[in-house]
Structure 1
Amino acid sequence: MVLPAVRGRLTQGAPLAPLVWFKSGGTAQWLFEPRDADDLADFLRDLDPAVPVMALGLGSNMIVRDGGVPGVVVRLGKAFAQVERLDDTSLRCGGGASGILVSSTARDAGIGGVEFLRSIPGTVGGFVRMNGGAYGREVKDVLVDCDVVLRSGERRTLAVADLGYTYRHSALPTGAVVIAATFRGHAAEPAAIGAEMDRIAAEREASQPLRSKTGGSTFKNPAGHKAWALIDAAGCRGLTRGDAQVSEKHCNFLLNLGSATSAEIEALGEEVRDKVKAQSGVTLEWEIQRVGVAK
């Protein structure tokens, strides 16, 4: 495969396991870390349209299958991780900025309403694409618009109404990369914002296995149900397959206890789905993205 020239870094056969929270999975055929938005747009414009493109953030909500990811994986680095205050209630955030950085900057600027982003272990690009949410709030509640580079290399600004948001889903086109977003909150006292962020952090620490190799919430909450409660009722708490385990602390989390393969983690998730379906009649939907090819 002949690829366009770049100013950033292009690596063939790059291991992805170190870049995702589960610490499992294969390699990227090519990993592209663009120097800036123009570098990304030029590359995608000149890249053979048949080559698949996937954006990778912090890898917190993802299973990379053991056979790796064909095509190009785009990872946004420091050039895309800036957060700046626009006015008394708005922030401009790079697609590679973390939820912690966004919420902390908002706190220091006296902008409330985005504290929940403190609890989303990902980047702006990822949670704009997935309509990330927690503690009763979602990205669609605070997003004004986002800048994307389409698979064709075209740059476009999309308003929140253009994104077709539903629960943990958007209508962003395949291969599009979110490079920036504008969030709007409301004026608030930094001390009050900080207290709410601390409350969220403490609640997460108490209820979730944050210090384990995990992928975050595995399944979406079905209408009228909590996924963890259905999993618990089906007797899946602590269930294992190889080194993959259903967390005993929060059973909507899967864990890699050591050297689990992505195949084991995904198979354990499918076993949980089967058991929940048999016990309650509810079909759980994956929230974690599963990408790449099986080995």
Structure 2
Amino acid sequence: MPPTPRGALTPNRSLADLTWLRSGGPADWLFQPADEADLAEFLAALDPAIPVFPMGVGSNLIVRDGGIRGVVIRLGRGFNGIETTGETVTAGAAALDAHVAKKAAEAGLDLTFLRTIPGSVGGAVRMNAGCYGSYVADNLVSVRIVTRQGVVRDIAAAELNLRYRQSDLPEGAVIVSATFRAQAGDPAELEARMVDQIAKRDASQPTKDRSAGSTFRNPVGHSSTGRADDSHELKAWKVIDDAGMRGAIRGGAQMSPKHSNFLINTGGATSADLEDLGEEVRKRVFQQAGITLEWEIMRVGERLP
């Protein structure tokens, strides 16, 4: 039995409504801490044998139908503040990437690449999210975490070894905030750039459907900072198309006809439908092109028997 915190601790809590794909089983426990101190005290008192899974807004996630053993931690209102000072922006881990971009732009700071990245700051840092040639690694100064042992620490960005869709956070650590340094820009120009980004995204991606963003990583070379190697032009959507999998269906899951690297829940899809369709795509692409696509969507939890 976990310790009693000030925040909400809910047993056997379904996670389906907390993911963008709207599928998946329950967590043994869902913990929504009141604040940083509540989180630290809870983790310090929690049996070390109980696993912990920090969950953002569920934008890039498949929770398998059998659910997650242990404690899922989801940060809320106490962790979504955004402050600008000089050339820096400090945002709580639960702040939405889009909100951070807009708040920074209002202050004349350029974090516009975050505008079209689905999810929250914690996930963006953990996965070194990027768009339009810019990555979290280009702007991150430091992160504040609570370790699995309940210790609050500030970590310099250099210690995270940020690279393509990866970072080296301590096991079980929960990001509570991040500080970015940004270039100055004219607020009106930054706003116009973000409006253009949104228009381009909506024209090419199934933003009105239940998806989890890009399903697979582009099969290209990458530098240690996360930038794509321009000498390789392969795109995941192209090799999926070439394998004949655009629009492919399994149960309620489909590879979007609008953008074939988007896995969507057309209604009633199980997590098994979604993951199995993704694995079928990987198999077909390998048969067709000899390329092994790597999942960009995180898949967690247990499958049902």
Please tell me the TM-score bracket, short chain as reference: over 0.9
Q: Which residue type is aligned with residue 128 of structure 1?
A: V
* Structure 1 position 222 matched with structure 2 position 231: no
Larger displacement relative to structure 2 (148-157 or 254-263): 148-157
Alignment-derived partner of residue 98 in structure 1: 96
Amino acid at match of 1:222: P
Match of 2:138 in 1: 141
**Alpha-carbon distance in 2 for matches of 1:244, 1:287:** 17
Question: Residue 197 of structure 1: SS of its match in structure 2?
Answer: helix
Aligned counterpart in structure 2 of residue 276 of structure 1, from 277, 282, 285: 285
Q: 1:235 aligns with which of 209, 221, 244?
A: 244
Distance in 1 between residues matched to 2:198 and 2:150, nearest whole Å: 38
Q: How does 1:167-182 map to 2 (within 5 A)?
A: 167-182=164-179
Equivalents in 2 of 1:273, 1:181: separation in Å? Answer: 34
Which residue identity lines up with residue 111 of structure 1 in the other structure? L
Deviating beyond 4 angstroms after TM superposition, the runs of 4 or more aligned structure 1 residues are none
Counterpart CA distance in 2 for 1:83 and 1:116 is: 17
Q: In structure 2, how many angstroms separate the alpha carbons of the residues matched to 1:163 and 1:178? A: 12
1:246, 1:68 → 2: CA distance? 24
Structure 2 partner of 1:166: 163
- The separation in 1 between residues aligned to 2:285 and 2:166, in whole angstroms, is 23
Question: Structure 1: which 5+ runs fail to align?
Answer: none
AA aligned opposite 2:193? E
Aligned to 1:188: 185
User: Could you tell me which residue of structure 2 aligns to residue 36 of structure 1?
Assistant: 35
The superposition leaves residues 247-291 of structure 1 with CA deviations (integer Å, 9 ceiling, x where unpaired) of 011111001100010001000000000011111111000010000
Which letter does structure 2 place at the counterpart of 1:183? F
**TM-score of the superposition, structure 1-length normalised?**
0.98
Q: For 2:256, which of 238, 243, 247 is the aligned residue?
A: 247
2:200 is aligned, of 195, 200, 203, to 203
**SS of residue matched to 1:270:** helix
Quote the residue 1:25 is aligned against.
Answer: 24
CA distance in 1, matches of 2:105, 2:238: 33
Instruction: Give the drift of 1:158.
Output: 1.1
Q: Distance between the aligned counterparts of 1:275 and 1:91, measured in 2?
A: 44
Which residue does 2:223 correspond to in 1? none
Secondary structure of 2:257's counterpart equals coil
Amino acid at match of 1:288: I
Could you tell me the percent identity over the aligned residues? Answer: 52
Residue of structure 2 in register with 1:288 after alignment: 297
1:122 aligns with 2:119: yes
What is the Cα deviation at residue 173 of structure 1?
A: 2.2
1:70 matches 2:79: no
Long gaps (5+) in structure 2: 221-231
